[in-house]
């Protein structure tokens, strides 16, 4: 987006993923992506240049309209490399190296263990909503029900409906509603509520509450 007049030298760092673990390099900050799993495939090619301009600008205390026919002049285009090695085919070969998948073993199931050890009746998760701010799909506001003698509640999250691999993302919640963070946007999670009463007794987990929050910050 142009916010100046006259000639300027503009530099744009290009997006890139590191070899092996596909770590996103800092150049990604200049480029939007709707899919967090997107990977950059080398070599890059320039296909189009989009130019956006304001319809008017402030000059001093006055607002000046920009005529639609005002031309935009582009000078020479240069490619800069951080290292000489980035110019050859070797960097393309290295960029395609990926870490081998690790054979997954059986996941622990803390929800199944809590069903066996819990002595109080389960509570209930009513709903999960986006917070008023920072609704980027990584946090949600949980509304839940538990007995009046309950003093705190924990929210466990799992990618599996039976509770395998569940993690306690919300701990020691005092009242409903409560905000819990640590999600992956656009991914279905299954939440379980476990509360503790005044006597220190722990409840059985609630029935799984399935939800998926999306990232509403589309222009990142």
Residue ranges of the domains in the chain? 1-103, 110-211
110-211 CATH: 2.60.40.10
Percent of the chain with pLDDT over 90: 52
Helices (H) and strands (E) in the chain, counts: 2, 9
- Beta carbons of 213 and 185 less than 8 angstroms apart: yes
169 pLDDT above the threshold of 80: yes
Average the pLDDT over each of 85-89, 101-105, 185-189 and give the range with the smallest value. 101-105
The per-residue pLDDT for range 64-93, each reduced to its tens digit, is 888 877 788 888 999 999 888 888 899 999
pLDDT confidence of 16, banded at 50, 70, 90? confident
Confidence tier at 2 by pLDDT (50, 70, 90) = low
Q: Kindly write down the DSSP assignment for every residue of 127-174, as one continuous string.
A: EEE--SS--SSSEEEEEEE--TTEEEEEEEEESSTT-TT-EEEEEEE-
- Rounded (10°) CA dihedral 159, 187, 137, 41: 130
pLDDT tens digits, 51-66: 877 788 888 899 988 8
- Is the pLDDT at 219 greater than 60? The verdict is no
pLDDT tops 80 at residue 32:
no
Report H helices in 160-210. Answer: none
Query: Would you say the C-alpha torsion 127, 128, 133, 136 has a positive or negative sign?
Result: negative
Strand order in the sheet with 150-158: 167-173, 150-158, 189-197, 209-211
């Amino acid at each position: 987006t142009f916010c100046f007049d006259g000639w300027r030298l503009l530099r744009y760092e290009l997006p890139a993923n590191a070899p092996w673990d596909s770590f996103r390099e800092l150049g990604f900050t200049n480029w939007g992506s709707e899919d967090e799993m997107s990977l950059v495939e080398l070599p890059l090619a320039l296909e189009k240049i989009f130019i956006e301009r304001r319809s008017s600008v402030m000059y001093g205390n006055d607002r000046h309209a920009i005529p639609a026919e005002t031309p935009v002049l582009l000078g020479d285009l240069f490619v800069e490399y951080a290292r000489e090695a980035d110019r050859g085919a070797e960097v393309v070969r290295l960029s395609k190296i990926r870490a081998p998948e690790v054979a997954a073993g059986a996941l622990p199931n803390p929800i199944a263990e809590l069903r066996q050890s819990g002595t109080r009746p389960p509570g209930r998760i009513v709903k999960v909503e986006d917070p008023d701010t920072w609704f980027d799909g990584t946090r949600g506001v949980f509304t839940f029900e538990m007995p009046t003698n309950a003093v705190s509640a924990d929210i466990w999250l799992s990618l599996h409906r039976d509770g395998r691999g569940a993690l306690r993302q919300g701990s020691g919640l005092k009242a409903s509603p409560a905000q819990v963070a640590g999600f992956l946007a656009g991914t279905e999670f299954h939440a379980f509520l476990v509360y503790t009463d005044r006597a220190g007794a722990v409840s059985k987990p609630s029935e799984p509450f399935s939800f998926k929050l999306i990232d509403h910050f589309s222009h990142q």
